[in-house]
Chains A and B, each alone.
Chain A
C-alpha cells in the first residue's frame, strides 16, 4: 500500500470508529427501562438505534416505507455515506422520482442492531465494563433486528408501514416483518432472499468468520481495546463473500483471464489476474468501513434465519391470515439466493391465499443485481408500489401531485 493510501485508509478507519459511536444520523436512545428483548433470551438494556429518513411524513402517517439494509449495508440508503464519502447504497431505487419516490413516500432506513454505523453493536461500549462489547455482545437474529426497528417506529409514533422493502438480509427482515407484525405491514417487497439460510450459505459465512478469527489481530474479539484491526482476515472474508454476490458469467465478462498491468504471468503470487486485483481491492476498501465483529454477528443472524422452523416447520403458517400485499423478486443468475428459494416463499403465500406478485428478472449480475442497474427491477417496484398506494388511498402527495 502506498503512503497516501495508508493515510487515507487510516483516516477512513478513524471515521468508521467514530460513526459507530457518534454517527452522523438521527439516533434514538433507549434506556434500561426500555430494553430490547432478544431471541436468545437476553435483554439488551441501554441501547441506541441510528437511522436516516428521507421525504416528508404525511398527516396520517400512512406513507412510510421502511428500507431494510443487507449484510454490510447501513442506514445511508439515499444520502452520502459519511465513512466512504460515496453516495448512498440504493440511490438507483430510492430518491425523488425514483421507484421508492421520496417526493411521495417517507422513507426510513435503520442501521440494524449489531451493526457498526451507530446502532448498538459489538463495537459499542458495554455499559457494564466501560469497554467495547466485542464478543460480549449477545448473538442477535433477524427477528431481533426487526424488533429493534419496531421499537424505533413506536418511539417515532409510526403505527403502520405502507411498505417494507429490502434485498438479501434486508429481504429476510421484510419477511420477518410481514410474519411478526402482520397488521403493521400493508405491502412487502422481499428481494433476492430466502425464508431460510441454506447449508451452502452457512458454509460460506463460516469461511468468512474463520478468516476473521484466524487473524492474530482479531485478539479474541478485543482488537478495539488493543488498538488493532483484523483487516487481513476481514478482507479475506469479504473476498470470499464477494464471489458469492457475483455470477460466473459476470466475472467472465468483466475480467475473463485478463492480466493486471502486465503482459505475461509472473510465475509468482502477485495479483497477476485482474480478478485477483479486483477482489483484493474489494477486501481492502471493505475493512476500512466495516467492523470485523459486526461481520461475525451479521453473518450469524442470517445463518440462524429459518422462518418455517419458527412456525412448526410450516412456512405458510408464518403468513397465515396475512392481508399484506407481497411482491417477491429474484434474479436468474443469483446462486446465493436462487429463484427456487423465492418460489418457496411464493408457494407458502399461495397456501394462505395471500395477495402476491412474483417476478424473476433475467440478469447476469448474480446476487448483487438488486443493487445494480436493472431497469426491470425498477419497473417492477414502481408498478407494484403504485398499485399498492392506490389501494391504500395514497393517491396524491402533499403537493397534490399524483
Chain B
C-alpha cells in the first residue's frame, strides 16, 4: 500500500495543499499515512480529530510514539471495517498507485468519508512519457525512483485516467489541482491536456 519513507520523496508542499482542503475541527482519516507527516500538519494547523492507517508496523509504532493515532492496516482490505460517513475527510495521499484494487479503495473512501482527498503522481507527465518514448524503458524520476521490479507502485494512472475513474464511481470533483516539479500549483485556467502533461502531482477533492 505504501512506499517506505514516502514523505522523504514527496514535497511537503502537496501535504500543505491537502491540509488546506480540510476544514478545521473535523474528523479525518489518512489512509497510508506513512511517517505521519500529514497527520502532524493536520494536528498542528487544523485542530482536527485525525487518525491514520499504515501498512508498515514499524511506521505505525513510530507514529504512535509521536502521539499520533495510527493503526496497522491495509487500504485494500481494512476500510470495510469502518461505518458509512465515519469521517468528514478521508485522505489517500500518494497511496492509490500502491493499492491492489484502486477502484475498490476509492469506493470505500467515498463511503466512509463525506469528502475524499486523493493525491497521486501523474503518470501523464511529459518526463515519464518522454522516458518511455525515447528510452523505451520504464520511467524513473526523483519522485518515482524505484525499478519496475521492486516498486510498491503497481497501479499508476494519469490525471485523465483518474478523472475517468471518478466518473465510473460517480464521484464529483469538487476541486482539483496539479503541481509542477517544484511543487508549485499550475494555473487553474490551464487546459486539462496541459495539466496532464506538465503536472507531476495531482490533488483531488471529491464528494459522492
Contact with B along A218-245 (1 / 0, CB 8 A): 0000000000000000000000000000
Contact B61 A380 (CB under 8 A): yes
CB neighbours of A362 from chain B (8 A): 57
Given contacts A347-B81, A351-B81, contact A379 B65 (CB under 8 A): yes
CB distance from A150 to the nearest CB of B (A): 26
Cβ-defined partner of B82 (8 Å) among A353, A358, A382, A390: A353
Cβ-defined partner of B67 (8 Å) among A350, A358, A386: A386
A355 within 8 A of B: yes
B76 within 8 A of A: no
Contact A359 B51 (CB under 8 A): no
Cβ-defined partner of A359 (8 Å) among B27, B61, B67, B83: B61
B86 within 8 A of A: yes
Total contacting residues, chain B, CB less than 8 A = 22
CB neighbours of A353 from chain B (8 A): 27, 82-83, 86-87
Bound complex: CA A390 to CA B47 (Å): 12
Bound complex: CA A376 to CA B61 (Å): 8
CB distance from B150 to the nearest CB of A (A): 24
Contact with A along B47-72 (1 / 0, CB 8 A): 00101000001001101111111111
Given contacts A355-B69, A356-B51, A360-B72, contact A350 B81 (CB under 8 A): yes
CB neighbours of A45 from chain B (8 A): none
A250 within 8 A of B: no
Contact B57 A355 (CB under 8 A): no
CB distance from A349 to the nearest CB of B (A): 9
A396 within 8 A of B: no
> Please, which residue of chain A has its CB at the minimum distance from the CB of B29?
A353
Contact A360 B65 (CB under 8 A): no
CB neighbours of B65 from chain A (8 A): 376, 379-380, 382-383
CB distance from A68 to the nearest CB of B (A): 20
Bound complex: CA A360 to CA B70 (Å): 12
CB neighbours of B27 from chain A (8 A): 353
> Please, which residue of chain B has its CB at the minimum distance from the CB of A358?
B71
CB distance from B84 to the nearest CB of A (A): 10
Within 8 A of A (CB), among B3-55: 27, 49, 51
* Most chain A CB within a 10 A radius of its CB, from B27, B51, B65, B70: B65
CB neighbours of A295 from chain B (8 A): none
Within 8 A of B (CB), among A357-402: 357-362, 376, 379-380, 382-384, 386-387, 390
Kindly state the interface size class of chain A when it binds its partner: 20 to 34
Bound complex: CA A376 to CA B49 (Å): 25
Bound complex: CA A390 to CA B78 (Å): 29
For the residues of B in contact with A, the DSSP-based class is mixed
A209 within 8 A of B: no
Contact A361 B61 (CB under 8 A): yes
CB neighbours of B51 from chain A (8 A): 355-357
How many A-B pairs have beta carbons closer than 8 Å: the answer is 67
> Please, which residue of chain A has its CB at the minimum distance from the CB of B53?
A350
A147 within 8 A of B: no
A158 within 8 A of B: no
Bound complex: CA A325 to CA B81 (Å): 18
> Please, which residue of chain A has its CB at the minimum distance from the CB of B50?
A355
Contact A380 B64 (CB under 8 A): yes
CB neighbours of A382 from chain B (8 A): 65
A327 within 8 A of B: yes
Contact B71 A356 (CB under 8 A): yes
* Most chain B CB within a 10 A radius of its CB, from A327, A382, A383: A383
Contact B67 A390 (CB under 8 A): yes
Contact with A along B75-110 (1 / 0, CB 8 A): 000100111001100000000000000000000000
A346 within 8 A of B: yes
Bound complex: CA A327 to CA B66 (Å): 13
Given contacts A350-B82, A353-B83, contact A359 B69 (CB under 8 A): no
Given contacts A351-B82, A359-B61, A360-B72, contact A384 B67 (CB under 8 A): yes
Bound complex: CA A194 to CA B70 (Å): 20
Q: Give A contacts to B, CB under 8 Å.
A: 325, 327-328, 346-347, 350-353, 355-362, 376, 379-380, 382-384, 386-387, 390
Give the 10 A-B residue pairs with the shortest CB-CB distance, closest first. Answer: A387-B67, A353-B86, A358-B71, A383-B65, A379-B65, A350-B81, A357-B64, A383-B67, A357-B69, A359-B61
Can you list 29 contacts pairing A with B, beta carbon distance less than 8 Å? A325-B69, A327-B64, A346-B71, A351-B81, A351-B83, A352-B83, A353-B27, A355-B69, A356-B51, A356-B71, A357-B68, A357-B70, A358-B60, A358-B72, A359-B57, A359-B61, A360-B61, A362-B57, A376-B61, A376-B65, A380-B61, A383-B64, A383-B66, A383-B67, A384-B64, A386-B67, A387-B67, A387-B69, A390-B67
Extra contacts besides A351-B83, A382-B65 (12): CB < 8 Å:
A328-B71, A350-B71, A350-B81, A353-B82, A353-B83, A357-B60, A357-B68, A358-B64, A358-B70, A380-B64, A383-B67, A387-B68
